[in-house]
Amino acid sequence: MTNLLSDIKEIVGEKRLLIAADLEERYDHIWHMDKGLDALAVVLPINTQELSGIMKICHRHDQAVVVHGGLTNLVGGTETKSDELVISLEKMNAIEEFDEGSRTLTVQAGAILENVQNAAKERDLLFPLNFGAKGSAQLGGIISSNAGGLRVFRFGMTRNLVLGLEAVLSDGTIISSLKKIIKDNSAYDLKHLFIGSEGTLGIVTRAVLKLVERPRSRCSAYLGIKDYDSVVKMLKFLDKGSAGKLSGYECIWPEAYKVMALKDDQKNPPIAFDYNYYVLCEFMGGDREQDFALLQSLLEQAMEEGLIEDAAPAYTEIDLQWFWRIREDVHVLVQKTSYNQHFDVSMPTPDIGQYVDDVVDQLKSNPNIECVFPFGHVADGNVHFIVGKKDDSDALRLWINDVVYNPLQSLQGSVSAEHGIGNHKKKYLPLSRSSEEIELMKTLKLTLDPKNILNRGKVLDP
């Protein structure tokens, strides 16, 4: 190991190779900042060429590597062992190029999502990917997990927003195709091997991101709805009535809404605690006055037709920010639990209502369950759970997993809508993927990483 670290030090210097006591101030997740990092060392490359050199050394020494980005991963994808080398891309954080004509940003993997959003906004454009951890999540991790978020319904997952990509393979080979074009049918589109593969096939270093014109207006409203069938019908009604302006359609179940709506010392919720489902909808358009009038008109029509029971539009920018803060900051739900488990599952949108009812009923039948908070992006078939429990035993954790995951196979759903598989969901991958698919994944892993040094043990067992 001494030769390994000495060789790496020749590339990055002493200050960007952290060992021993330096690791006490590092961690493997933003929720574990009080725990020192258990790892061989942390190396901080500043460009793709340095990373390539580091990986050549690791490949020669059969050294296992774990890649760290913003450390917001929720499935153990950044967990480390004492004999593993951590490569952190935090210093590769530049926004390298803005191309107005092609409406693209070229960024390094360590760029923070919120900084990318702001860079696009400064140029009167929009990078539409958005979720609660935008202030710390890094683009490399986002791409590697194919993250989703609040606007997938209109703009798609991360995969839809990446035009070009650069990655370093396990042996140090650089695969670079930083193209700015949307249409490219010249054989295999290799960037998609790395998008969503959670760092197991290669380390993403740079990307060309697709931007869109920044909307001139953003209008939102909370809706009170009596039954899930009406939630689905209202989605179609708003999408059709707005002619494509619908960019968000978030559903919150009552138990979660009652906690989320009263945070920040708010004395009154946006909409009363009288309904079975709460939907936060969003229009993005080109004229604030016209778009708000359209939203109000559609809500009035929906009331008359019995699709919704109540509605509260955001009349001011302050209201708008408050409405979305309620949805985005889910930490208030975590604070209500002694111990908790998080889930992000997906299935056809019409199936979500009955699935959630069944899961909640079964979970609450266990006296060790404190609370169940469902919410999610139902427009794209994604529902989240935060399950509060009285203890953190393995037996209870596995029982909860079975309750949440086992019904998904018959629904042709997924155990991971947007967070990935990591360490924590490997056991349940066969519920979402056939044995033939998993074998093909293993073939790809063996081909691109024959020594199994990239994020070893994550996503797939050997």
Q: What tens digit of pLDDT does each residue of 123-141 get?
A: 999 999 998 889 999 999 9
pLDDT digits (tens, 9 = 90+) for 392-431: 999 999 999 999 999 999 999 999 999 999 999 999 999 9
Percent residues over pLDDT 70 in the chain: 99
Burial of 116-143, coded b for 16+ CB within 10 Å and e otherwise, reads bbebbeeeebbbbbbbbbbeebbbbbbb
Does 457 map to a domain? no
Gap between the Cα atoms of 177 and 191, Å rounded = 8
Does 426 map to a domain? no
Confidence of residue 232 (pLDDT cuts 50, 70, 90): very high
Residue 209: HSE in the Cβ half-sphere, 13 Å Cα cutoff: 32
Percent residues over pLDDT 90 in the chain: 90
CATH code assigned at 24: 3.30.43.10
What is the model's pLDDT at position 447?
97
Distance of CA 148 to the CA centre of its chain: 5
What is the model's pLDDT at position 109?
98
For residues 59 and 115, membership in a common domain is answered with no
State yes or no: pLDDT of 220 exceeds 60: yes
CATH code assigned at 361: 3.30.70.2740
Confidence of residue 34 (pLDDT cuts 50, 70, 90): confident
State yes or no: pLDDT of 1 exceeds 70: no
Does 121 map to a domain? yes
Listed range (197-206, 275-284, 327-336) with the worst mean pLDDT: 327-336
Average pLDDT over residues 270-275: 94
Q: Is the dihedral of CA 154, 158, 159, 165 positive or negative?
A: positive
Does 59 map to a domain? yes
| Residue recorded with tokens 């009331």 | 303
Does 188 map to a domain? yes
Last residue of a domain, one of 48, 69, 91: 91
Average pLDDT over residues 253-279: 89
Confidence of residue 462 (pLDDT cuts 50, 70, 90): confident
Q: Where are the alpha helices (DSSP H) in 13-79?
A: 48-60
CATH code assigned at 298: 3.30.70.2190
Last residue of a domain, one of 91, 124, 142: 91
For residues 244 and 205, membership in a common domain is answered with no
Confidence of residue 257 (pLDDT cuts 50, 70, 90): very high
For residues 78 and 116, membership in a common domain is answered with no
Does 115 map to a domain? yes
For residues 223 and 260, membership in a common domain is answered with yes
For residues 132 and 50, membership in a common domain is answered with no
What is the model's pLDDT at position 268?
84
For residues 129 and 235, membership in a common domain is answered with no
Paired with 210 in beta bridges are 104
For residues 17 and 126, membership in a common domain is answered with no
Residue 168 identity: V
Does 449 map to a domain? no
For residues 167 and 236, membership in a common domain is answered with no
Confidence of residue 267 (pLDDT cuts 50, 70, 90): low
Average pLDDT, the chain: 95
Range of the domain at 181: 95-213
What is the model's pLDDT at position 72?
86
For residues 175 and 261, membership in a common domain is answered with no
Does 271 map to a domain? yes
Last residue of a domain, one of 58, 91, 124: 91
Domains contained in the chain, number: 4
3-state secondary structure of 309: coil
Confidence of residue 16 (pLDDT cuts 50, 70, 90): very high
Average pLDDT over residues 14-41: 89
Confidence of residue 266 (pLDDT cuts 50, 70, 90): low
For residues 19 and 79, membership in a common domain is answered with yes
What is the model's pLDDT at position 228?
98
State yes or no: pLDDT of 93 exceeds 60: yes
CATH code assigned at 104: 3.30.465.10
* 268 or 452: which leads in pLDDT: 452
State yes or no: pLDDT of 11 exceeds 80: yes
For residues 99 and 209, membership in a common domain is answered with yes
For residues 59 and 71, membership in a common domain is answered with yes
